[in-house]
Structure 1
């Protein structure tokens, strides 16, 4: 997605800043990381959208991508400044989060994420016709009564909030969001009424499979689940590019 680079960078910086300022004697509340992640991702997405917005025209996807990559580069530089100042304990915590891991998470984390994920997921599913229309040409979408910039901004922010909450708890496990929608479209077609639930199920299946492999492959130790997902996802993503260059 076009905001992914900048959005993930915003999440990473917000989480890193929270960990950096955390006292060694206090434990973070379960909602602290998701709230910080939402704030960081939303602020970054707003900056990217504002830089890309042109009145009277649909926001260009390429402009969003370029602004997102540029902003992410600046944020990553700030992250490096903070990372080199961390003690060893916080450094390992941040490193595990950057790679991606669900080790140590509990049903409390599920309960914290469930209202957001389920609520926004259902909202997107009930608005699946709008998402289908956005796949059409600009002229057709406008002719069908859809306000392009307003709709793009709404679904952009919903995507940011969903991604930020999940990334805050599980870390930056990138390839789940990249490859599962592509697989879902191949299995159920392009209609979002089917793609959305299929993508969610495939994402859950991929994460659970990767977590199982990470526990078995070097047992009794455990490999970070983000590494396994990347090993599975990267070859498939390259296959998609080779088969259908963009």
Structure 2
């Protein structure tokens, strides 16, 4: 039975998710750091999420807390501090897990200043993860992509399938790619977790071979449960086989973030 047929059938069993996402290599978008944004509130929850990633077959992740002016005013220092706390807890528990850190930057009025001052917390090999509001398009997106590139970084747009204002203007996704920005899929989007319209756009982007990276964007245990269901129900590796997914290779040369 093909993946596309499986998308519309329900034949899930408990524990079938174990190891199913190992093909990803590294989860490069999640919110597992404790008490720093709208993700994990504390160390205990963070450890639960880390163990959940391990169960899915992911043994390395780069946590990406939000940097959003006036909402989540994180800096490289606040992120590093939260990372150190979780890293210590992982070590103290004897958990074998490679935890690194970066950030997810909202395209807002503050981001231009951060880019120009290079006060950023990038992914390995000089990649920058950016996002927009779900409510309204940022008119600064293409300028932001250009500014990031001019500073020697590679921009990645998080979860493009979730920007509803692009759903009726599919050509904009190609324009973003043509501008040199990579696209990252939220794995939950292949289900109906974010709604039918998001799923439809995600599958269209997948069929068009538009995605470069995948991430869990995991914030809490509800996300973890949903990810296990997706991993059980869908052959995500087969689904994305015609997309140039780079998770397992793009960060492999760097075990430490270059800030």
Q: TM over 0.5, yes or no? A: no
Larger strand proportion, structure 1 or 2? Answer: 2
In the superposition, the TM-score normalised over structure 1's length comes to: 0.28
Q: By percentage of residues, which structure has more helix? A: 1
> Over alpha carbons, which structure has the higher Rg?
1
